[in-house]
C-alpha cells in the first residue's frame, strides 16, 4: 500500500508556493510543469491577466485577490480543471474566462 501511495505521489507533480502577484496592466502565464498548484496567496492586480495552462488539473488558493478588471484566463483542455479558494476578494469587473467546448 505504501509503495502504491508513493508511486501516485511521484506520478502527479505538485507545485506549491507562498504567493504569486501579477502586476497591474500585465500578463503572466503559469508554467505547464505541474498538474496541481497550491498558493497561500494569489493576487492579480488591476487590469492584469493570469493565464492557466491546459495541463493544469487543480489550482488551490488559500487567499485569492482579483483587482478591478482582473482576469484569470483558462486554456482549453480535454480534462476538467478544479479551482478552489478558501477566501476570495473579487474586484469590480474581474472575471474567470474560458473558451467553450469544441464543435
62, part of any domain: yes
101, part of any domain: no
49, part of any domain: yes
Q: Which residues pair with 43 in a beta bridge?
A: 21, 65
pTM (predicted TM-score): 0.80
25, part of any domain: yes
pLDDT of 97 above 70: yes
102, part of any domain: no
Domain count within the chain: 1
99, part of any domain: no
Tens-digit pLDDT profile for residues 24-75: 999 999 988 889 999 999 999 999 999 999 999 999 999 999 999 999 999 9
H, E, C per residue of the chain: CHHHHHHHHHHCCEEEEEEEEECCCCEEECCCCCCEEEEEEEEECCCCEEEECCCCCEEEEEEEEECCCCEEEECCCCCCCEEEEEEEEECCCCEEECCCCCC
Domain range for 13 is: 2-94
Amino acid at each position: 500500500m505504501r509503495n502504491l501511495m508513493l508511486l501516485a505521489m511521484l506520478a502527479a507533480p505538485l507545485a506549491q508556493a507562498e504567493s504569486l502577484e501579477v502586476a497591474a496592466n500585465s500578463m503572466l502565464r503559469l508554467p505547464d510543469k505541474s498538474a496541481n498548484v497550491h498558493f497561500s496567496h494569489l493576487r492579480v492586480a488591476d487590469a492584469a491577466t493570469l493565464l492557466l495552462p491546459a495541463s493544469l488539473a487543480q489550482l488551490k488558493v488559500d487567499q485569492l485577490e482579483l483587482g478591478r478588471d482582473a482576469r484569470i484566463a483558462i486554456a482549453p483542455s480535454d480534462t476538467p480543471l478544479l479551482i478552489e479558494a478558501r477566501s476570495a476578494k473579487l474586484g469590480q469587473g474581474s472575471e474567470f474566462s474560458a473558451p467553450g467546448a469544441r464543435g
